[in-house]
Amino acid sequence: MTVTPALDAKLAEDGPAISGLKPGIDPISDAAAGQWTLIWRKFLNQKVALFCGGVILVLYLIGAFAEFLAPGLPDTSRAQYTYAPPQSLGLFTPSGEFQLHVKGYKVEIDKAALRRTFVVDDSVVIPVGLFVEGPTYKFWNLFESNRHLIGPLDPSQTMYLLGADRLGRDLLSRLIYGTRISMSIGLIGVCMSLFLGVVLGSISGYFGGWVDTIIQRVIEVVSAMPTIPLWLGLAAAIPLTWSPIHVYFVITIIVSLLGWTGLAREVRGRFFSLRNEDFVTAAKLDGSSERRVIFRHILPSLTSHILAVTTLAVPSMIIAETSLSFLGVGLKAPVVSWGVLLQDAQNIRSISTAPWLLIWPSLAVVIAVLSFNFFGDGLRDAADPYET
């Protein structure tokens, strides 16, 4: 606050009582609010983080309802539509009536290059509808359905909103199915490194001494090794004969094996600063066991910080999976993830024929990573509500 001394003196005499709180905050409800209410209120002030939290939620919802949201199945291939370019969604047909539609293709043979090129054919209108019947899927492996959010009214016709790949598969459907795999790997991986990081970090920070030294040395070694060579080395050892679901879990473990060090460091640092606080001494004098002191007294007061650091660790997991799959040692087809999709955009020739194969999966990765970063930053700022 910048107040001139004279004004200050006047206020002290007959002005209203000055509160250190920002205007608009009710001091009584703020003083009575619990830690989590305060964190929530502080977080609500961060518009960017809030927005990114929304984006993350949407991404997970897309992943959860992939079967319904995708216009088709991820593996349906149509050889005659190899590298078909994206079709744009139109509202009014050439005859002027309102009808959601895409335009059809006309195939032209480029005589010089001996290549087929697709040209949008304005005379062919493929009507598109919402909640249409399409290919049958098994939702969450529980029940069968054939409703899709969007799709051509006649299932035998084609709609490639984001274009097609080398086998004429719909990129939009594949991207939506890939969201499920890529986003869940980030989540499961981070849970595993959270477990490792919290357990080892707490032990290290609480006990100190030689236990701390050993754990710190391990962290140092792991974090000093360049990640991609190490990931490659671990992932390449996965036998080719393993089932996709097996590979999925091993990749999650590999990704989390290298991600826990940052978390462990954070937890250890906080433990060091809390170890000598009065409430810890009090708990010890009350005869609490060491396990109880760690898990009942110290850890709960760290939860908000741990949550923030965990969120900030998710993007590196997503990037790890994407990189590994892109290089061909991570997830492999028939599994669809963003990294697997990017595998199709590996060389300049396929990128220049079909740039959408690079653009859309990359955009998905970047949006996910950015959202997690901003969301985590916001959480971190809100994590300590008593800080002024």
Partner 1 sequence: MLNYILKRLVYMIPTLIGMSIISFAIIQLPPGDYLTSLLSTLADGGSPIDPATVERLRSQYGLDQPIWIQYGKWMLGIITRGDFGFSFEWNQPVSEVIWSRMGSTLAISFAALILVWAVSLPIGIYSAVRRNSIGDHVFTFFGFIGLAVPNFILALTLMYVSFRVFGQSVGGLFSPEYVDAPWSMGKLWDLILHLWIPILVIGMSGTAAMIRILRANLTDELSKPYVTTARAKGLPEYKVIVKYPVRIALNPFVSAIGWVLPELVSGVTITAIVLNLPTAGPLLLRALVAQDMYLAGSFILLLSVLTLVGMLISDILLALLDTRIRYN
- In 3D, which of 260, 259, 266 has the Cα closest to residue 302? 266
Q: In the set 123, 141, 352, 388, which binds partner 1 (CB under 8 A)?
A: 352
Site for partner 1 in 185-224 (CB under 8 A): 217-218, 220-224
- Chain positions 66 to 125 lying near partner 1, rule: CB under 8 A, are none
Q: Segment contacting partner 1 (CB under 8 A): 99-107, 123-131, 263-271, 319-327?
A: 319-327
C-alpha span between 271 and 262 (Å, rounded): 14
- Is 86 within 8 Å of 160 (Cβ atoms)? yes
Q: Which of 225, 246, 295, 300 binds partner 1 (CB under 8 A)?
A: 225
Q: If DSSP codes are grouped into helix, strand and coil, which group holds residue 101?
A: strand
Contact between 237 and partner 1 (CB under 8 A)? yes
- Does position 226 bind partner 1 by CB under 8 A? yes
Taking alpha carbons only, the member of 257, 279, 264, 256 closest to residue 205 is 264
Query: Counting contacts by CB under 8 A, is residue 236 touching partner 1?
Result: yes
Residue 326 in contact with partner 1, rule: CB under 8 A: yes
According to CB under 8 A, which one of 56, 70, 319, 331 is a site residue for partner 1?
A: 319
The contacts of residue 386 (CB under 8 Å, 6+ apart) are 38
CB 346 to partner 1: min, Å: 8
Identify which of residues 160 and 372 has a Cβ nearer to partner 1 in the complex.
Answer: 372
Q: Is-contact 266 248, C-beta < 8 A? A: no
Residue 48 contacts partner 1 per CB under 8 A: no
Alpha helical stretches, state H, the chain: 5-14, 27-32, 35-44, 47-64, 66-69, 171-207, 209-224, 227-235, 244-257, 260-274, 278-285, 290-292, 303-327, 338-343, 348-353, 356-382
Report the interface residues with partner 1, using CB under 8 A: 217-218, 220-230, 232-234, 236-237, 239, 315, 319, 322-323, 326-329, 342, 345-346, 348, 351-352, 355, 358, 362, 365-366, 369-370, 373-374
